Every structure is written in C-alpha cells, then in structure tokens.
C-alpha cells in the first residue's frame, strides 16, 4: 500500500484554479522531489499535504487514512521551511525539544529523541549553543532536527537550501541525501527549483506545470525519455535544443528533414502514416557533435563560453527562436565566427509531435 495517495487533488483560490487532477502514489521511504517553474503550485501542493492549505477537490490519503480534514499535527508529517524560524533565545537542544515538551512527553523520551536527531545531523557538539552562534547550514540542520524528533511518517521540505550560499548548499544537499539513507523508512517530499538538487536527491521527480503533472519518473528517466517538450526543456542545462521539421522516412529509424536545411536520424520508431508529419526534434547540447558530413544544423558560432571541462557554442537561428547551444567536452577556443555543422547519434534524437514524445504515444 502506498504511504501517500493523491487522487484527483485540486486547489483553487476562488475562481482561480492553481492545481487540478493531481494523481500521485508515493511509496514508503521514497524521496520525491517536486520541480516546476515559479508559481506552478509546488508549495501549494506540499502545504496541502501538510494540512496548512485546504484541499478544494479530490482525496489525500496518508498510510491508508483520508487526511483532507485532519489537522496538521495529526497527519504524521513534519515540514521544514526555507526560513529556519528557530527560537533565538533557546539553545539548539531546547529548539529541538520544544514540540515534544509542548506535547507533554516525558523528559527521558525527549532526551533520547534529541540525542538521536543530534547524532543523525552531527549536531552533538552544538547542543548548548544559541542559533546566532551557528552557520546558516547548521541552523537549517537544527530546523531539520526539530522535525526528526517528532518521528514523522512523512518529511516535507520547501526549498530548504535556497537561503544558503552556494558552497553550503552543496554540503547541506549531501547531508540531506545521507539523512534519507539514515532514515530509510521515512518518506520525503522535497520542493526545489534547483535541477541539481532534484536530479541528485530524488528517487522520483514530479514535474509540475500548467496546473498539473507533466511527468513523474526517476531522474535519468526524465532526462533520457522526457514525455513532452516541456519536460525535455525543463530537465537538463542548458536546455534541450528543438528543431522544427517534417518526417521524411519511417520505420525503425526515422528520418526528419529539418526546416533549416539539415537532416536528422532518430531511433524513435515511426509508422508509414507518419510520413510528412510535422514534428520537432530535440537534441541536448551535450549530445551535439561537430561533423564534416550531413548534419542536423549548420551555422556560424556567435559566442564561445570555455568553462574548462566543457565549451559551450552558441548559434543564432534565422527563425528568431532560442539560440542553438552545443556543449563540447574539453576546450575549443577560436571557434567564434566559424561555420560549423552539428549532428547527433540517432539514439540521442528525440521526436515530438504536437509537443508530445512519439516514444509515449501508445502509453
Ligand atoms: P510555487 O511554490 O510553485 O512557486 P505556489 O504554490 O506558491 O507556487 O503558488 C501557486 C499559485 O497559487 C501562484 O500563482 C500563486 O500566485 C497562487 N497563490 C498562492 N497562494 C495564494 C492565495 N492565498 N490566494 C491566491 N492565490 C494564491
Ligand atoms: Mg514555492
């Protein structure tokens, strides 16, 4: 049985529908990450699970029980916010113990819970400090510790790292990944707009867009087999390039004649009736290669960004669309202004018709 079950969950504020028809099953111990553009409803969905926001349609079950009208404290969930909201006049120990004291738990039980959380979070030597004597990353760990002591079935995180500077964000991200390993039975749901966090932490990513779920899957599944153009361009950086064209050969290998003059081959299979169909092909910047022969795209290099391990080449397209970007391994300076032809291995060429990947059309 799923730990969390969302069936047709919806949220509207008056006449404004923010989310609708959210169907999602989450198994015990999973690490689920919600990603999506700003304002797409990530926090709203998390807050509905927490009970901080009323569900206006559908059903939320946790551990087999309908939770729609159950108050937050009785749902077995604990939430960690972007702002740590620690009590400034209380030590780390007292901050972590506070909720249990309020709940009237015996002192021995509280001490054991705090000691356990401190051990998991490596806060043992900071228990007598005040929050002002801690770094941002340590404060966020205390906030997580406050959630751990309550022994929740489900942990909810809303962009917990976005107030930290880059180096601390990386370190704390790794700690959160380890947290999940130390607490394998606790389900985690984590909201972020940071792709790297999503790709590295998630057992499954839920991509939210346009008020619904665009795709749910393991990180590399979304990267390798995006269901639609939105997911294709949302996951991966720089974003996947799209080229408009028409199917000119069908079968186990599909040939696409591109509007800009190039030709692409794809291992995405097509049927005879697809001949002539308008499609967009998608190729990730890292899958483009410079070729001497037939290619997907030929253009002059406008900008070169040498990052050391990789070089980004930018091409301006005639159609005034987004520029084409190629990411080549290693250092390639002196390419600026040069005309280059780009190609890709057929198994790296995605094909979208009406915005949806042809890989999924029967699924
Ligand atoms: P995200 O976390 O993905 O950035 P939110 O869940 O915070 O997005 O918000 C989703 C949408 O709901 C936004 O368009 C926001 O303006 C709207 N919204 C959030 N809270 C309210 C509210 N109390 N009243 C009206 N609209 C709201
Ligand atoms: Mg938010």
Q: Is 162's C-beta closer than 6 angstroms to any atom of ligand 1?
A: no
Per-10-residue mean pLDDT, the chain, length 363: 92 96 97 96 97 97 96 92 88 95 94 93 94 91 92 93 86 89 93 92 96 98 97 95 97 96 96 97 97 93 95 83 89 90 98 96 69
Note the pLDDT of residue 114.
96
Which ligand sits closest to the CA of 158?
A: 2
Query: Where do you find CATH 2.40.50.140 in the chain?
Result: 239-360
Q: Which residue has the CA at smallest separation from atom 16 of ligand 1?
A: 39
Which ligand sits closest to the CA of 159?
A: 2
Q: Is 168's C-beta closer than 6 angstroms to any atom of ligand 1?
A: no
Whether pTM > 0.85 for this model: the answer is yes
Note the pLDDT of residue 171.
86
Q: Which of 20, 34, 39, 214 to mutate to test the pocket of ligand 1 (most atoms within 8 A of CB)?
A: 39
Q: Which of 40, 50, 189, 206 to mutate to test the pocket of ligand 1 (most atoms within 8 A of CB)?
A: 40
- Which atom of ligand 1 lies at the shortest distance from residue 44's CA? 6
Q: Is 293's C-beta closer than 6 angstroms to any atom of ligand 1?
A: no
Q: Is 18's C-beta closer than 6 angstroms to any atom of ligand 1?
A: yes
Q: Does domain 239-360 correspond to CATH entry 3.30.750.24?
A: no
Which ligand sits closest to the CA of 15?
A: 1
Q: Which residue has the CA at smallest separation from atom 14 of ligand 1?
A: 39
Note the pLDDT of residue 321.
61
Q: What is the pLDDT of residues 2-18, one digit of tens each?
A: 799 999 999 999 999 99
Q: Which residue has the CA at smallest separation from atom 26 of ligand 1?
A: 13
Q: What is the pLDDT of residues 229-283, one digit of tens each?
A: 999 999 999 999 999 999 999 999 999 999 999 999 999 999 999 999 999 999 9
Gap from CA of 41 to ligand 1 centroid (Å): 6
Note the pLDDT of residue 168.
84
Which ligand sits closest to the CA of 40?
A: 1
CATH fold, domain 4-233, is Rossmann fold (3.40.50)
Checking 61-67 for CB contacts under 8 A at 24+ apart, the result is 61/2, 61/4, 61/5, 61/6, 61/7, 62/3, 62/4, 62/5, 62/153, 62/154, 63/1, 63/3, 63/153, 64/1
Note the pLDDT of residue 116.
92
Gap from CA of 19 to ligand 1 centroid (Å): 10
Q: Which residue has the CA at smallest separation from atom 27 of ligand 1?
A: 13
Note the pLDDT of residue 320.
55
Strands lying side by side in the sheet with 254-258? 263-266, 254-258, 241-249, 278-283, 350-353, 356-357
Note the pLDDT of residue 47.
96
Note the pLDDT of residue 175.
87
Query: Where do you find CATH 3.40.50.300 in the chain?
Result: 4-233
Q: Which residue has the CA at smallest separation from atom 6 of ligand 1?
A: 41
Q: Is 14's C-beta closer than 6 angstroms to any atom of ligand 1?
A: no
Q: Is 192's C-beta closer than 6 angstroms to any atom of ligand 1?
A: no
């Amino acid at each position: 049985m799923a730990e969390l079950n969302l069936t047709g969950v919806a949220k509207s504020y008056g006449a404004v529908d923010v989310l609708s028809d959210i169907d999602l099953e989450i198994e015990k111990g999973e690490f689920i990450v919600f990603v999506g553009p700003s304002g797409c409803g990530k926090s709203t969905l998390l807050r509905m699970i927490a009970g901080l926001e009323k569900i206006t349609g559908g059903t939320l079950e946790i551990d087999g029980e309908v939770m729609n009208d159950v108050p937050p404290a009785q749902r077995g969930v604990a939430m960690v916010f972007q702002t740590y909201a620690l009590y400034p006049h209380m030590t780390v120990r007292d901050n972590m113990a506070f909720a249990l004291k309020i709940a009237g738990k015996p002192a021995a039980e509280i001490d054991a819970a705090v000691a356990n959380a401190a051990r998991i979070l490596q806060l043992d030597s900071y228990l007598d400090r005040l929050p002002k004597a801690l770094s941002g990353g340590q404060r966020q760990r205390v906030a997580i510790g406050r959630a751990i002591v309550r022994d929740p079935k489900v942990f909810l995180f809303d962009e917990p790292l976005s107030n930290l500077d880059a180096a601390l964000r990386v370190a704390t991200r790794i700690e959160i990944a380890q947290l999940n390993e130390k607490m394998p039975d606790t389900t985690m749901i984590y909201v972020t707009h940071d792709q790297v966090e999503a790709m590295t932490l998630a057992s499954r990513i839920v991509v939210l867009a346009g008020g619904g779920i665009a795709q749910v899957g393991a990180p590399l599944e979304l990267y390798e087999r995006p269901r639609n153009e939105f997911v294709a361009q949302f996951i991966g950086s720089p974003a996947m390039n799209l080229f408009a064209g028409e199917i000119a050969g069908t079968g186990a290998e599909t040939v696409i004649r591109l509007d800009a003059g190039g030709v692409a081959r794809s291992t995405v299979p097509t049927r005879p009736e697809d001949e002539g169909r308008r499609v967009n092909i998608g190729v990730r910047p890292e899958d483009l290669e410079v070729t001497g022969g037939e290619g997907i795209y030929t253009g002059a290099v406008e900008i070169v960004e040498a990052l050391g391990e990789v070089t980004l080449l930018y091409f301006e397209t005639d159609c005034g669309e987004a520029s084409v970007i190629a990411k080549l391994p290693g250092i390639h300076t002196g390419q600026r202004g040069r005309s280059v032809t780009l190609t890709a291995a057929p198994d790296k060429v995605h094909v979208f018709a009406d915005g949806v990947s042809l890989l999924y059309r029967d699924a």
